[in-house]
Amino acid sequence: MRSLFTAATGMAAQQLNIDVIANNIANVTTTGFKRSRAEFSDLLYQEYRRVGTQSSDTGTIVPAGVQVGLGVKPVSVYRINEQGSLIATNNQLDISIKGRGFLQVTLPDGTTAYTRDGALKLDNTGIIVTADGFQIQPAITVPANATTLTINADGQVQATIPGQVNQQLLGQLQLANFINEPGLQANGDNLLVETEASGPPTVGNPGDIGFGQLQQFFLEQSNVNMVSEMTDLITAQRAYEINSKVIQASDSMMGTITQLR
């Protein structure tokens, strides 16, 4: 009764599918979150009659063999990096990225992480940081007496200083691009890190060729589509139930066999 084990792989696959959908739904209001999709492939096949073999000594060929599949396996959880919608916040330290690119973040161990979460803050020394206090690269310090802060589409950070006619240029925000964005590893806290699959980062200014632009006073919302996720959830639930029915049917057939006299 290989159908018992085949259906069990189907139930395990749909459980993983529901886990991924649940994480998407849970993060529907997470700034800059990118939804994921579970992907599967079929397992090996047992062959009882190989297709293409000769069925007689005159050279006739078997047009269709006999193969029985052994179930399904997960192969990836793919992150979909499409643009999320923008929401106005009226906070001068909030920025969104319109197009490709990630903000660079310096972690406490000195390594670099990447994020689409533009809800920035100032630490006690005036340095622009993330909500967890990690510095944005390149480091930019805002003077304590600055009255307003301007971040233009090209990433230039300027401040209005009392007694000065023109705004003071404080620094230049930069973005990082990757040839394979889904290859980045998610570490939680809206942070991604480089892997061999993602390739090394290409760093440039916002607005350069291949890089998105910044939008001050806006945040990028999650790209989770609730209607689509609910539809996928119902489909996964039904598939899980059907696989459980296969196990019940197989068990009933085995019970019939054991009762034969």
Q: Are residues 190 and 228 in the same domain?
A: no
Domain that residue 235 falls in: 2-81+224-258
Question: Regarding predicted confidence, which is higher, 60 or 170?
Answer: 170
Q: Using CB atoms within 10 A of its CB, is residue 40 exposed (0-12), middle (13-18) or buried (19+)? A: middle
Q: Are residues 135 and 237 in the same domain?
A: no
Q: Tell me the per-residue pLDDT of 33-52, one tens digit each, with 9 for 90 and over.
A: 999 999 999 998 888 888 88
Q: Are residues 179 and 135 in the same domain?
A: yes
Q: Tell me the per-residue pLDDT of 110-130, one tens digit each, with 9 for 90 and over.
A: 999 999 999 999 999 999 999
Q: Tell me the per-residue pLDDT of 51-73, one tens digit each, with 9 for 90 and over.
A: 888 878 888 888 888 888 899 99
Q: Are residues 171 and 189 in the same domain?
A: yes
Q: Are residues 90 and 191 in the same domain?
A: yes
pLDDT-derived band at 217 (thresholds 50, 70, 90) equals very high
Q: Are residues 134 and 245 in the same domain?
A: no
Q: Residue 258: its pLDDT value, please?
A: 84
Q: Are residues 104 and 153 in the same domain?
A: yes
- The strand pairing partners of 169, in sequence order, are 158
pLDDT-derived band at 163 (thresholds 50, 70, 90) equals confident
Distance CA 172, CA 142 (A): 12
Q: Are residues 165 and 183 in the same domain?
A: yes
Q: Residue 172: its pLDDT value, please?
A: 97
Q: How many structural domains comprise the chain?
A: 2
pLDDT averaged over every residue in the chain: 94
- Residue 89, pLDDT > 90, answer yes
Q: Are residues 197 and 133 in the same domain?
A: yes
Distance CA 239, CA 57 (A): 46
Q: Are residues 186 and 170 in the same domain?
A: yes
Q: Are residues 13 and 106 in the same domain?
A: no
Q: Are residues 229 and 211 in the same domain?
A: no
- Residue 1, pLDDT > 80, answer no
